[in-house]
Each structure stands twice: as C-alpha cells, then as structure tokens.
C-alpha cells in the first residue's frame, strides 16, 4: 500500500464538491491519502510570478473554522471511506487532516471536536503566523512555539491527533519537540540543497530540523509540488536524501497533490505505483520500501492513540 501523507486530492480549486473521479483512482493504485482541510484558505492567493501562496489579509472571527468545516464536509459528503483508526487504513480510504491551527481562535476544545469528527492529523501552521507559533515563510513574531501552541500540542497528544510541523519555523519545531510525548510529522518538505537550483526554497528544511522530527520517532514526507522541472524523479531523489540524513525509518511520501504535482502528471493517484518501483530501483529492499510508502506513517498513527 502507498500512503500519501499530505494531499488535497479531489479539490483542485480547494473549494466546492470533491471530485469523486480523482478519489476513485486511489484503490486501483493501491493508495490511501491523508486529505487536508486548509484553515487559512480564504486569506490566500497564489503569486502569479513565484507561484507561491501568500497571505492577503487577517481572518474575521470564526472564518477559518468555517473554512475547515466546509472542507471536511465536502469529503464527508463524497462517500469515500474515512479511516479513523490505523486498522481502517486501506487503499481507497482517506484520513482527515487540517492544515493550520488558525481555526482554534484560542479554543482548545475545538481539537476535541475535530477528533470526534474523525480528524487524525493537524498541522500547526500554514501561511499565516497564528497563535501557535512562527512559520517558515514569514519573519518570526513569537520566537518559536507559543504557550498556547504547546498547550495545543499536548491536547492533540491527549485526543489522538498526530502533530504536523510542516510550514513551522525551526524554532517552532524545537518547541514542539519539547512539548510532545508522541512522534510528530513533517508531512511535506525536502532538505535544503545548497548549490542546486531552487535548493534554498523557503519551505525546505535543514538537517537539524529533520533530525528533531526523527528523534521523536517521527516521519518527514518527501514533496513533489515545487519540483516543476524534476517532477517525480526529483521527489524520489529527495526521498533518498532524507533517508541519508535521518534513516529509512523516518521518511515517507507527501506529494501535496494536486498542488504543483498536477504539472508533472500527478493530479491524481494513477502514477503512485511508480513510487515503490523507483524506490526499489534506487536500492531499497522490499521491507524498506514498505516503510517509506506506508509503514513509517502507520507507526506514528498507532502511537497517536489516546
């Protein structure tokens, strides 16, 4: 099985009904997907020059929560199987997630409500510096994880939600590592690559950042969305770079499709079977390939049980 740690599968415009035809490509490909509701979606636009998302304004009270509710409702209405437990993860199913804690508005009990709804992974930040901590793509405001951010991490640990630090600044991750008692995720990123074109992408992470995630027992997902020239071979190359840095037990796949990946022919899951093939061609054993494709993330999911 191939478990994609971070997608917006079936939501090419991020709004409106989920495209059932995209979700239907999962089971034949042997894929299960984590689908992420974007809390700060109403506040973002894509820069036509850089192709990167940017914050345009601050939210109205309750606006980000409404965005999350609508996004999750789209998947609930799509009729796709929703995996609430590790045992329910199978090809054709989805795992609900949220990207950015902007929906909290200082109310930790909203995490309990999401857990009851079936959300099993929550990313602290996205493209807005929120009340939990700083992000990679904007100047620091808090100096890392906030007191409220630490309380959010502890609450996620209590209710069985995996903590995702993708988009968090390195200082924020350091705070998360100190606050958590469970493994954490960085669902979609690549290592910084000095001297390589786009190797200093603001969403790439240092080896120290990756090491901190791994030391919790966590997993980092290799990312394709920004690899406009390299495409899938580039993602595989970055997966092997991550393996070299933190070991095969701490690496997974997080395409972010259809973000960017659609430009490389990965708007859906039809090419996902190529991922294990390319990992094996690169020298991984069958056991190691299974770890990267699903086993490592499943281990974190099992450890998240409240």
- Summarize pLDDT for 212-246 with one digit per residue, the tens: 999 999 999 999 999 989 999 999 999 999 999 99
Residue 45's pLDDT is 86
Which has more confidence, 254 or 47?
254
Mean pLDDT of 76-97: 96
User: Using 50, 70 and 90 to split pLDDT, how confident is the model at 13?
Assistant: low
Q: CA-to-CA distance for 293 and 4, rounded, in angstroms?
A: 8
Among candidate residues 138, 234, 248, the one with its CA nearest the CA of residue 193? 234
Q: What is the pLDDT of residues 30-78, one digit of tens each?
A: 999 999 999 998 898 888 887 778 889 999 999 999 999 999 999 999 8
CA torsion sign, 194 to 196 to 201 to 205?
Answer: negative
Q: Is the pLDDT of residue 86 over 90?
A: yes
pLDDT over threshold 90, residue 262: no
Residue 302 has pLDDT above 70, yes or no: yes
pLDDT over 80 (residue 12): no
Better pLDDT: 264 or 203: 203
**E strand intervals along 61-186:** 94-99, 119-123, 162-164, 185-186
Range 150-177 average pLDDT? 98
For residues 185 and 252, what is the distance between their CA atoms, to the nearest angstrom? 10
User: pLDDT per residue over 283-297, tens digit each?
Assistant: 999 999 999 999 999
What's the fold here for domain 2-303? Answer: TIM Barrel (3.20.20)
Q: Once rounded to an integer, what is the mean pLDDT over residues 137-161? A: 98
Is-contact 255 6, C-beta < 8 A? yes
pLDDT of residue 85: 98
Would you say residue 168 has pLDDT above 70? yes
Q: How confident is the model at residue 264 (pLDDT cuts 50, 70, 90)?
A: confident
End-to-end CA distance of the chain: 25
How confident is residue 250, by pLDDT bands cut at 50, 70 and 90?
very high
Residue 15: pLDDT band (50, 70, 90) is low
- Cis preceding linkage at 219, omega within 30: no
Using a cut of 0.85, tell me whether the model's pTM lies above it.
yes
- Domain segments of the chain: what residues? 2-303
The dihedral sign for the CA sequence 87, 3, 221, 238: positive
């Amino acid at each position: 099985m191939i478990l994609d740690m971070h997608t917006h599968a079936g939501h090419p415009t991020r709004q409106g009904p989920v495209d059932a035809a995209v979700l239907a490509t999962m089971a034949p490909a042997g894929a299960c997907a984590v689908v992420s509701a974007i809390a700060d979606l109403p506040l973002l636009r894509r820069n036509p020059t850089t192709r990167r998302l940017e914050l345009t304004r601050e939210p109205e009270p309750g606006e980000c929560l409404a965005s999350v509710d609508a996004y999750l409702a789209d998947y609930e209405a799509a009729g796709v199987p929703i995996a609430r437990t590790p045992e329910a993860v199978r090809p054709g199913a989805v795992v609900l997630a949220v990207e950015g804690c902007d929906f909290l508005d200082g109310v930790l009990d909203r995490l309990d409500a999401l857990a009851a709804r079936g959300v099993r992974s929550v990313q602290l930040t996205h493209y807005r510096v929120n009340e939990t901590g700083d992000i990679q793509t904007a100047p620091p405001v808090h100096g890392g994880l906030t007191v409220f951010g630490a309380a959010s991490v502890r609450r996620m640990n209590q209710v069985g939600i995996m903590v995702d630090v993708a988009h968090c600044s390195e200082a924020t991750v350091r705070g998360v590592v100190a606050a958590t008692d469970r493994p954490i995720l960085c669902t979609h990123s690549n290592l910084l690559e000095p001297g390589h074109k786009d190797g200093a992408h603001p969403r790439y992470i240092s080896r120290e950042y990756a090491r901190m995630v791994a030391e919790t027992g966590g997993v980092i997902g290799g990312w394709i969305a920004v690899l406009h020239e390299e495409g899938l071979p580039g993602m595989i190359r970055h997966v092997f770079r991550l393996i070299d840095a933190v070991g095969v037990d701490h690496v997974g796949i997080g395409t972010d499709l259809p973000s960017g990946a659609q430009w490389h022919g990965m708007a859906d899951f039809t090419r996902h079977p190529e991922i294990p093939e390319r990992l094996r061609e690169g020298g991984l054993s069958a056991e190691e390939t299974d770890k990267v494709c699903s086993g490592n993330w499943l281990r974190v999911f099992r450890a998240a049980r409240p």
